[in-house]
A = this chain, B = another copy of it.
């Protein structure tokens, strides 16, 4: 990529929403950014990368979607600590496979996500890549000191919940890969894949409630996230397959495409919902708060005891949930039978 194209990208970066003021002492344009942390808060920091052909294809993600999702996946990690997202650093490796106009659109997506969640772009790096586009985003946020929600704090007796619906992103990806022009009724699934939402508001309710045990975001699929909580907390979790909240459109599209929707919910990932545990006596008040905010909140199981295990029941049968990956629940059941 020619030097003047780098200048172009720097221009898009420096249309920055990271103007100084309100805690930001030095924004984009110096060796490093400088900000004042809010008193009584701790800093929350995470970093997620997205690579062309590995995490997305040109066919499944428009340039603006790529930028948008790279930011959202990080904001989601802040949500999973119960925090507020505040700042982003964007490292982009630009490949010849995208045009200048497409890079502008990628930045449109980055800034759109940042503006929706009140995040300022305060820095980053622009380099070239010989083949694939790489986006690596760091998001910095904050949470009340000593009050971050960790995945290691699930305790026996707590209930297991998930926010929103799961499996929608995987269904949307299946639809995009099938390369049919999606019918209008499936568009919500495509949007769930390309324009996911981060659950900052849900995370803040959980943080403030004081009754949330462990918390994870559903980036790698419900199964993988439940296993992470079980292992980090040294507990056995049991969930009921029938309780898992799956959108009507996902069930309908699964019927049409002869797929098992539960596979998408358990192993698909990228829903960016929150999954966690909550003490039973805190449930009623918390459910009420979620209902008031219009955020679906579903109890899907219980922490049963110690021992690093995740069990799932379905149609009266019980099995250990596969840890991760696209191992098909249905096939495993068939082998069992």
| Chain A residues close to B by CB (< 8 Å) | 3, 25-26, 29-37, 42-51, 53-55, 77-78, 80-81, 83, 87, 89-91, 93, 122-125, 127-132, 134, 136, 138, 140-141, 143, 145-146, 148, 150-152, 215-217, 232, 325
Contact = CB atoms under 8 A, between A and B. Distances in A.
A46 B131 contact: no
- How many subunits of this chain does the assembly comprise? 2
Q: Is the interface of A mostly helix, strand, loop or mixed?
A: strand
Nearest to A23: B42
Contacts of A216: 31
A216 B49 CA distance: 28
Contacts of A145: 25, 36
Given A36-B145, A130-B132, A325-B3, A140 B51 contact: no
A125 B45 CA distance: 12
Given A31-B81, A31-B217, A81-B31, A47 B148 contact: no
Given A80-B31, A81-B30, A43 B37 contact: yes
A54 B92 CA distance: 13
26 contacts: A25-B146, A25-B148, A30-B152, A31-B46, A31-B77, A31-B215, A31-B217, A32-B80, A32-B83, A33-B44, A33-B45, A34-B143, A37-B42, A37-B43, A43-B43, A43-B140, A45-B89, A45-B122, A46-B89, A49-B91, A51-B93, A51-B134, A54-B93, A91-B138, A129-B132, A140-B140
Given A31-B77, A47-B124, 17 more contacts: A3-B325, A32-B46, A32-B78, A32-B83, A34-B44, A35-B43, A36-B145, A37-B43, A45-B89, A47-B91, A49-B136, A51-B93, A51-B129, A51-B130, A53-B130, A54-B130, A129-B134
A240 B88 CA distance: 40
B232 A29 contact: yes
A187 to B, nearest CB: 29
Interface centre among A31, A53, A77, A83 (most CB of B within 10 A): A31
A87 B129 CA distance: 26
Contact of A81 (B34, B37, B55, B124): B34
Nearest to A47: B89
A48 B31 CA distance: 10
Given A45-B35, A91-B136, A93-B49, A54 B129 contact: yes
A217 B31 CA distance: 8
Contacts of A34: 42-45, 81, 143, 148
A35 B140 CA distance: 11
Given A32-B80, A136-B136, A151-B30, A48 B125 contact: yes
B3 A151 contact: no
